[in-house]
Structure 1
Amino acid sequence: MTQDVIVLGAGIVGVSVALHLRQRGWQVTLVDRRAPGEATSFGNAGLIEASSVVPYAFPRDWGTVLKFALNRSTALRYDLRSLPAYAPWLARFWWESAPTRLAAAARDMLPLIRMSVAEHEALIARAGVADLVRPTGWLEAYRSQDQFEREAGAAQRIANEHGLGMKVLDAGALQRLESSLDGGYAGAIHWADPRSVIDPGALTKGYAALFEREGGRILTGDAATLERTGSGWRVMTADGLLEAQAAVVALGVWSGDVARKFGYRIPLMAKRGYHMHYANDGRAALSRPVVDIENGYVVAPMRRGLRLTTGVELACRNRPPSPVQLERAERIARPVFGLGKRLDESPWLGLRPCTPDMRPVIGAAERHPGLWFAFGHAHHGLTLGPVTGRLLAEMMSGEATFADPGAYRVGRF
C-alpha cells in the first residue's frame, strides 16, 4: 500500500489536517489505534473559542500562586508524585507568562484564533453537521463583584481592539438570559462570537466521515511503529505495512513520544481534565456554556446532558485518575446549575497537550524531510483543529500560507 501521506492521529487536529490535504489532491491515509474523535477530542467543553485571544498563562500574582500551592483549588490540582516531572516545564511556563512574553504569544496565536470559526464553518457545511453547533457564544461568569467589574473593563478593551461581540451582564441580566441559573454570580461577560458544540466527539466523527466520502482512508495502526524508509515513511497498520512519501504527527500529548524517537526533545506535557454528565433537575434548559471563572470549571449543555468539565490537573499520564477535583467542582456547581443524577458510570479523563510557551508545534521536522508536526494546542484543540489543518496543508503543498508559521516551528525548542 502506497499513499502520498500518512496522518497519525484521528483527533480533531489530525482529521482536519487529513481533510485539507485531501482537498488539495493528496492521497491521504489517517491512522490511529482508536476510531476518530474518541480520545481528547471527545471530552472537551465544546467551545470554538473565537474570543480567547490571550492564552491561558501561569498566574503572576502571589495570592493565586499560594492558593494553587495549597492544592485545594477546583481550578488546579497537582499530584505530588508528578511534580518532579513537571518542574522544568512549569519553570519555563512561568517565565513565558511574563507580561511582555505573554503579549508576544497572544500576537502569534491571533491569526489562528481569528480564523477559527470561519474554518470550522466551512467544514461544518461540507460535512453536514450543523445540528451539532450552536451560535450562542459562551458566558464568563464571576462570583466576586470586584473581580467582575475589573475583568469587564479589560474584556471591553479586548473586544474593541479585535472587533469581538460581547456584552456585560449584571446579575439581573444574566438571570434573564439563563433562567436556569440559581444565583451565585455577580455578573457575566457574554462572548457572542464563539460557537458551542453539543457533541465534540460526533463533530470530529462527522469531519472524518467527510474525509472518507472525499476519498480518504482510515486505518487502525500504531504510531509508535513509524520509521523512515529510503524514500519516505512507513507505519504498521492492521491492514499491513503502509508506506508514504510524507508523514504527519498529530497525536496530541502522545506526539512527543514519536518526535523523541527521531531526536526532537519537545517540552510537551499534559494538563489532565475530567468530565461528567448530569441530568437536569427539572429547571429550564441551559442555553450556552458557562465558565465559572473563580472556580475554574465549565458547565455546558450537551446531547447527553449537562457536562461539567474540570480545570487543570497536573499529573503524569500513568498516574491513576483522581475523583477529588471533579467532586469539588460538582459540590459548587450542583445548586447553581441544578445538576441532577450522574449519567456516566465513571468520570472521563482527557489529556490536553501543552507547550510551555503557549504555542502549538505546526510545521516541518527540520532534520527529517517528509516528516511534519501538528500538536500542542493546549486548551484550544477543538478551536484550532481546522485552521491548523489549513495552515499545515498550505505549507506541505508549497502554497502561500494565510499566516506566518514561524512562531510554531519545532526548532524554537
Structure 2
Amino acid sequence: MTKSAIVLGAGIIGVSTAIHLQRRGYQVVLADRKEPGNETSFGNAGLIQREGVFPYAFPQELGMVLRYALNNSADVHYHMRALPKQLGFLARYWWHSNKSRHAAIAKAYAPLIENSISEHRDLIEAAGADGLIERKGWLKIYRTNEKRDADLADAVAWHRDYDVRYEELDAQQLAAAEPHLRGEFAGALRWTEPWSVRDPQALVAAYSRYFESLGGRFMRADANSFGRAGNGWKIMTADGPVEADAAVLALGPWAMVATRRLGYRFPLGVKRGYHMHYASDGNAVLNNWLLDSERGYLLAPMNRGIRLTTGAEFATLDAPKTPVQLERAEAVARATFPLRERLDQEPWMGARPCTPDMLPIIGRAPQHDGLWFAFGHAHHGLTLGPATGRLIAEMMSAEPTYIDPSAYSPNRFMRR
C-alpha cells in the first residue's frame, strides 16, 4: 500500500523533507499558509555554510555581554518587554555555550554540516537550479589584527578537527578581491567550501516545483486545523480536508505553538532578523558575500540587489517590527561600501527557531505515533534543509540513516 504523509511548513526544511519522502514512495501533501519559501526561508544571508561546524553560541566574555546589555549594537538587539519570558531560554543557551560544552555540541552538529553541500547539490541538480548558485565561498573582513588573529586560530583548529578549508587574505589581497570597499582593513578570511544562493526564496520555489514533478502536492492550509484523524493525521486545506498516515511538523519558529497544542513544552527560542536590498553607486560591484566581523552585519550580492542582513533580535514571535539594527548596520555599511537607494518598500523581517543546546530537533514525536519533528535549525536552516530532509525521510522509512540522528532527538527535552 502507498504510504501518505502531510509535511506542515513549506520552508527549506519542509520542502526538502517532502522531496525525500516522495522519492521513497510516500504520497506527500506539503501544506503552508503561504507559497513555498515565503517565511523564514525568504530572508537570510543565502549561505550554505559547510564551515559552520560550531553553531552560534551565547557570548561568554563579560565585556561582550556588557556591550550587548547596552542594547545599542548592530549585531544584537532585544526587547525589554520580552526578556522576562526569555530569561529561562537565555540562561540555558548561555550554559550550553560554555567552551567545553560548545565543543561537544560541535561534534554532534558536524555530521549534518559536513553533508550540507552534497545534499544541496543533489537537489540543485534535480531542480535545475544551478543558475542561483555561486561556488566561491565567502569572506569575513577584519578591522583589527586582534580579531583577525583570533579567528585565524579558530580556522586552524577547525581545519584540523573537521577538515574545514580556508585561506587568509592580507589587506592588499582583500583590496584586490573587493576593490570598492572603503576604509582600513587588516585583512580577511575566506571560507572556501561554502556555496552562496543569489535568491534563497527562488531556490526553495525551485525545490518545490521539483517536488511537484515527482507527484507531490502543495496546498494552502492553516496549521491550527492540524490534528489527529483516527490512527493518522489531518489538516484542512483550501481544497478541503486531507488525511495521511504520518505527518512532519517543519514549522520553524511556529513549531513552538503547534507542539504546545499537542502537549509538548520544547524550550524553543526566537532570534529575529532583518534584511534590505540596495542599489550600488556608479560602477561599484560587490564580488563576495562579506561579513563585517566587528560590526555584525553581512552584505550579499543577490539578484535583487545588495542585501544587507542583520544579526539577532530577541523578541516575541508576534512582536511588531523594530528594525533599529538595520538602521545601525546601514550607517556602517554605507561607510564601507558605496550603497545607493533602498530597493524594498520596507525592511523584511523573519524569525529563526533556536534550541538552547543549538542542535535541531529531528525525529519521532515521543508521545504520538506517526508524528515527526524537524525544526530548531537557528541560523542554519538554509544550510541544513536537504540534509535534514534526507535524514528524517530515512528514519520514517525505517532505512539505515546516513548519519547517527540520536543527538537531535526530541526526547532530550522530555521531562524525566
Counterpart check, 1:154 vs 2:158: no
Q: Which residue of 1 aligns with 2:373?
A: 373
Structure 2 gaps, min length 5? none
SS state of the match for residue 190, structure 1? strand
- In 2, the alpha carbon distance for the partners of 1:321 and 1:267 equals 23
- Shift of residue 49, structure 1, vs aligned partner: 0.2
Q: Which residue of 1 aligns with 2:144?
A: 144
- Shift of residue 161, structure 1, vs aligned partner: 2.8
Q: Which residue of 2 aligns with 1:131?
A: 131
- Shift of residue 85, structure 1, vs aligned partner: 1.2
- In 2, the alpha carbon distance for the partners of 1:9 and 1:3 equals 19
- Code of the aligned partner of 1:251: L
Q: Which residue of 2 aligns with 1:77?
A: 77
Task: Say if 2:3 and 2:25, in contact at 8 Å, map to a contact too.
Answer: no
Q: Which residue of 2 aligns with 1:40?
A: 40
Cα deviation code 1:206-260 (max 9, x no counterpart): 0000000111000010111111122201111111111000010001000111111
Cα deviation code 1:84-121 (max 9, x no counterpart): 11110000000111112111110111000000000001
- Shift of residue 140, structure 1, vs aligned partner: 1.2
- Code of the aligned partner of 1:341: E
- In 2, the alpha carbon distance for the partners of 1:328 and 1:346 equals 15
- Code of the aligned partner of 1:135: R
Q: Which residue of 1 aligns with 2:253?
A: 253
- Shift of residue 263, structure 1, vs aligned partner: 1.0
- In 2, the alpha carbon distance for the partners of 1:319 and 1:32 equals 21
Cα deviation code 1:160-187 (max 9, x no counterpart): 3322221111111111112121234211
Q: Which residue of 1 aligns with 2:269?
A: 269
Task: Say if 1:8 and 1:251, in contact at 8 Å, map to a contact too.
Answer: yes
SS state of the match for residue 189, structure 1? strand
Q: Which residue of 2 aligns with 1:334?
A: 334
Q: Which residue of 2 aligns with 1:210?
A: 210
Structure 1 gaps, min length 5? none
- Code of the aligned partner of 2:183: G
- Code of the aligned partner of 2:135: P
- Code of the aligned partner of 2:301: P
Q: Which residue of 2 aligns with 1:26?
A: 26
Q: Which residue of 1 aligns with 2:390?
A: 390
Q: Which residue of 2 aligns with 1:279?
A: 279
- Code of the aligned partner of 2:252: G
- Code of the aligned partner of 1:130: D
Counterpart check, 1:237 vs 2:267: no
- Shift of residue 283, structure 1, vs aligned partner: 3.8
Task: Say if 2:20 and 2:389, in contact at 8 Å, map to a contact too.
Answer: yes
Q: Which residue of 2 aligns with 1:311?
A: 311
- In 2, the alpha carbon distance for the partners of 1:11 and 1:153 equals 35
SS state of the match for residue 298, structure 1? strand
SS state of the match for residue 234, structure 1? strand
Q: Which residue of 1 aligns with 2:192?
A: 192
TM-score under structure 1 length normalisation: 0.98
Deviates more, 1:171-180 or 1:395-404: 171-180
TM-score under structure 2 length normalisation: 0.97
Cα deviation code 1:46-74 (max 9, x no counterpart): 00000011110011110000000011111
- Code of the aligned partner of 1:253: P
- In 1, the alpha carbon distance for the partners of 2:229 and 2:152 equals 56
- Code of the aligned partner of 2:212: E
Q: Which residue of 1 aligns with 2:105?
A: 105
- In 2, the alpha carbon distance for the partners of 1:185 and 1:273 equals 26
Number of residue equivalences: 412
In the TM superposition, 1:318-357 aligns within 5 A as: 318-357=318-357
RMSD, aligned CA: 1.1
In the TM superposition, 1:42-57 aligns within 5 A as: 42-57=42-57
- Shift of residue 3, structure 1, vs aligned partner: 6.6
SS state of the match for residue 66, structure 2? helix
SS state of the match for residue 256, structure 1? helix
- In 1, the alpha carbon distance for the partners of 2:107 and 2:96 equals 14
SS state of the match for residue 57, structure 1? coil
- Shift of residue 146, structure 1, vs aligned partner: 1.5
Task: Say if 2:284 and 2:338, in contact at 8 Å, map to a contact too.
Answer: no
Cα deviation code 1:279-325 (max 9, x no counterpart): 01124421221111111111000001000000000111222111311
Q: Which residue of 2 aligns with 1:90?
A: 90
- In 2, the alpha carbon distance for the partners of 1:75 and 1:66 equals 14
SS state of the match for residue 189, structure 2? strand
